[in-house]
Amino acid sequence: MVSSSNVVVSVLVPIYNVERYLDQCLSSLVAQSFKNFEVICINDGSKDGSRDIIQRYLDSDERFRVIDKGNSGYGDSMNQGLDAARGKYISILESDDFLDPGALEYMVESAEANGLDFFKCNFWLYWTDPQAEYSYRNDVYFSAIKPEMISLGVHAPRVCPEIFWAKPSIWSAIYRRDFLEGNDIRFLPTPGASYQDSSFTFKVLACSERAMYSGKAFLHYRQDNESSSVNSKGKVFCTCDEHAEMQRFLQEDRPDLAASLNPIRAHVKFLNYMWNYDRLSDNLKDEFLGRFAREMREEIEAGYIPEGVLNGKYLKDPDLAPFQYFSKEQVREVLEVAYNPRLFAARRASLNSPDKVQTLKNYWNAGGVSSVVELVKSKAKGEL
């Protein structure tokens, strides 16, 4: 067993029934140019050959450790990994992804040189089978970190709200373990849930005083794992649980940050709920829309979405500057969701439908003549 004094990075690998991809993942860690790390494989009750693959690495490399547990979900797996970690830094590698050899070395050197709470990189979108739309390439560079974020250098993320809108991508980063522990930053351990990187990322961004970003990409993020949670349509309200945890964290753990971060949190919620609504099948959209509408009303009435949005001035005066973090289009959308969700549903359905007759029916069903008038106005403005 590697001495804890020699462990600089603890790499957490949550594992559940990934025998097809696991060897590529774990072998990419063995190939790292940086050597002072441990790998904590958290086996979440796998029923395929994943445990046998883990054992091969346990037998051949003393830096590998395993936590075997019953299936309790991603959040609990990650929290058990955090509890077991001994390194100065935490890194996360999903078991269907893999790293280039220089990844840990680059991230550790950057974090050490700048005294960082966390350091985050871009990544590659990866397909097992090359994609025709990208000239039959396996990898496509994904710029989750924009140049303006990189140019900030060392900073506290809460002074740059745009960072909160970026894709969470917790696995293309490195975190100082005592920073996570000191701020009680953990995962929401909801059994069977998904998107549990959302609240974790929000807490990291909220609490960090020294963060930094890089445009380099080392991680290959697999897109064609059919069992991945991003491909699951059934987990309708998982994102709602994550946003409830963000709000709880500000209210109970960091009330000193609540006033400045609640408007940012509310906008992140709006963006994530919009994404969730659009990804759902039609029969699940109605189920989710009721909660979407209620929570947007609550955010508005609590003042977290600014008063300018509430009174609808933006709809009446298109020359007004955007309110807080909402664009002109987003102001209209959040008001429709909150106070006229049937019209919102008709508009979203029509955006994806070339059928003019069906579009007219959507608007008529949403509110009769007044909604059809909205359709005509939207067409005139080029919104549809």
CA distance 31 to 38: 13
Q: Is residue 288's pLDDT more than 80?
A: yes
Angle between helices 341-351 and 369-381 (to 10 degrees): 50
- Sorted by sequence, the CB contacts under 8 Å of residue 246 that are 6+ apart come out as 198, 199, 202, 203, 265, 268, 269
- pTM of this structure: 0.86
- Mean pLDDT of the 229-233 span: 49
Note whether 98 and 20 are within 8 A (CB).
no
Q: At 76, phi and psi to the nearest 5?
A: -65, -40
* Residue range 238-250, pLDDT digits in tens: 899 999 999 999 9
**In terms of DSSP bridges, do strands 118-131 and 137-142 run parallel, antiparallel, or are they unpaired?**
antiparallel
Mean pLDDT computed over every residue of the chain: 85
- Tell me what pLDDT residue 143 has: 86
Amino acid at 368: G
The CA distance from 18 to 52, in Å, is 11
Contact 82, 121 (CB under 8 A): no
Predicted local confidence at residue 191, as pLDDT: 75
How far, CA to CA in Å, does 92 sit from each of 9, 65, 97, 128?
A: 10, 14, 10, 21
- Distance CA(357)–CA(336), nearest Å, equals 22
DSSP state, 1?
-
The 10s digit of each residue's pLDDT in 77-103 is: 999 999 999 999 999 999 999 999 999
Pairing of strands 173-176, 37-44: unpaired
Distance (Å, rounded) from C-alpha 159 to C-alpha 180? 20
Q: Which amino acid is at 109?
A: E
User: From the CB of residue 352, how many other CB atoms can be counted at a distance below 10 Å?
Assistant: 7
- Given a contact cutoff of 8 angstroms between Cβ atoms, the answer to whether 36 and 65 are in contact is no
Structure-token pair, residue 151: 């140019």
* DSSP label at residue 254: -
Q: In this model, does residue 229 exceed pLDDT 60? A: no
